[in-house]
Amino acid sequence: MDSSSNDNNENISPSAAADIFTPNQEGEEAQALPASWRGKPSALEPVTLYSWRVSPPAAKVRTLLRLFNINFQQIDGRMPGSKYRKVPVLLVGPGKFQINDSFAIAKALCPVLTGREMPATECELEKAITYKLMVALELQVFQSREDFLKFSAQFSKTATKDGFFAKAKRCMLITMHACVLQRLAPNMIAKRYPDAKGGKESASDVLSLLKKFRDAAPDRKQFLSGGNQPGVLDASLFGAVAVFVECDIPFVKEMLTESGFYPTWYESIKTRLDGDVFGDNLSSSVSK
């Protein structure tokens, strides 16, 4: 995919944006956002996030936007009319550039949020979090009925305020979906993401890489990207694991504790999100 910059396109209309900005596929990088947005997070607004409450990749993007104080509207569900049928999908800027996939979103937003391109090492770690760690954790959770039930219980809640009947219908659909999912999903996931095979082992490989990266520079002891403020990798790691931690899946907490990301690092990010990991209290959430 062409990653050349869309200079001077910051004020174009959504229909013109569709002509010059082709939404990426999963695993592909997005086209670069206008170079004049670099270091200017407010240039991203208005921002719309299509997400599901307990989707780990959606949690990655939601955490990124919140840690960098970006105002955004959160819509529960897939983006209507989009060829890309997964969440998260992010629309940014007056031109409504559409970016798909949490890796592509983190990479494309990095220069705008931090003023610098994502360095190659961080890019590799971001990929490992997205296509290996997050998927490996899901795969492992599917293998234990107890863990899976805890995880799927969270699906019955939405980030938006549904009425009683909408809640009951959602609950029923999700229970049926969960039964089918636990049988079919592990093979499907393992085929689609070969790097995530082996569940626990793959997840702990990624956590070791992140630990090494953090420990290689003294100022990364607190936050992965260095300095006092959490960076893009902090948001991504937190989002990837938070859903599992909050669903109280024991092996995830154990792994994070072993690699030194729990409880201090985890809790410090959670505090920055006012303890609201799922974004339930965001005023801008909309049900489809």
Ligand X SMILES: N[C@@H](CCC(=O)N[C@@H](CS)C(=O)NCC(=O)O)C(=O)O
Closest approach of ligand X to the CB of residue 11, in Å = 28
Token pair listed for 282: 């965001």
The span from the CA of 50 to the CA of 217, in Å, is 36
Query: What are the residues whose beta carbons fall under 8 Å from the beta carbon of 32, sequence distance 6 or more?
Result: 3, 4, 5, 6, 108, 111
> Of 50-58, 159-167, 229-237, 265-273, which segment contacts ligand X by CB under 6 A?
50-58
Distance of CA 8 to the CA centre of its chain: 28
Least separation in angstroms between CB 107 and ligand X:
11
Out of 10, 26, 162, 246, which residue is the one contacting ligand X (CB under 6 A)? 26
Output the six-digit token pair for 144: 């234990």
Among 86, 132, 214, 270, binds ligand X (CB under 6 A): 86
Nearest to 92 by CA among 128, 122, 68: 68
Count of residues of this chain found to bind ligand X when the rule CB under 6 A is applied: 12
CB count, 10 Å around CB of 284? 13
- Three-class secondary structure of residue 74 per DSSP: strand
107 binds ligand X (CB under 6 A): no
Q: Which is nearer to ligand X, 221 or 288 (CB)?
A: 288
Among the listed ranges 91-99, 101-109, 167-175, 259-267, the one in contact with ligand X (CB under 6 A) is 101-109
Closest CB to ligand X among 38 and 86?
A: 86
At CA 98, angle to CA 92 and CA 102, rounded to 5?
90
> What's the closest the beta carbon of residue 221 comes to ligand X, in angstroms?
27
Nearer to ligand X, 26 or 195 (CB): 26
Give CA angle at 107 (285, 125), nearest 5°. 110
Kindly tell me which of 38 and 107 has the beta carbon lying closer to ligand X: 107
Asked if 130 touches ligand X (CB under 6 A), the answer is: yes
Q: What is the CA radius of gyration of the chain?
A: 18
| Shortest Å, Cβ 36 to ligand X | 27
Spatial CB neighbours of 119, under 8 Å, sequence gap ≥ 6: none
**Least distance between ligand X and beta carbon 216 (Å):** 26
205 lies in the binding site for ligand X (CB under 6 A): no
Q: Which of 88, 230, 239, 279 binds ligand X (CB under 6 A)?
A: 88
- The residue type found at 49 is L
Strand partners, 76: 51, 287
Using rule CB under 6 A, residue 103 touches ligand X: yes
**Residue 112 is a binding residue for ligand X (CB under 6 A):** no
Region 136-165 residues binding ligand X, contact defined as CB under 6 A: none
Nearest distance in Å: CB 273, ligand X: 19
Q: Does 29 bind ligand X (CB under 6 A)?
A: no
Dist CA 131 CA 123 (whole Å): 12
CA dist 11 and 32 (Å) reads 15
Smallest separation (angstroms) from ligand X to the CB of 218: 31
Residues 6+ apart with CB under 8 A from 107: 29, 30, 118, 123, 126
Closest CB 54 distance from ligand X, rounded Å: 8
Task: Name the residues that contact ligand X, by CB under 6 A.
Answer: 26, 52, 55, 57, 85-88, 101-103, 130
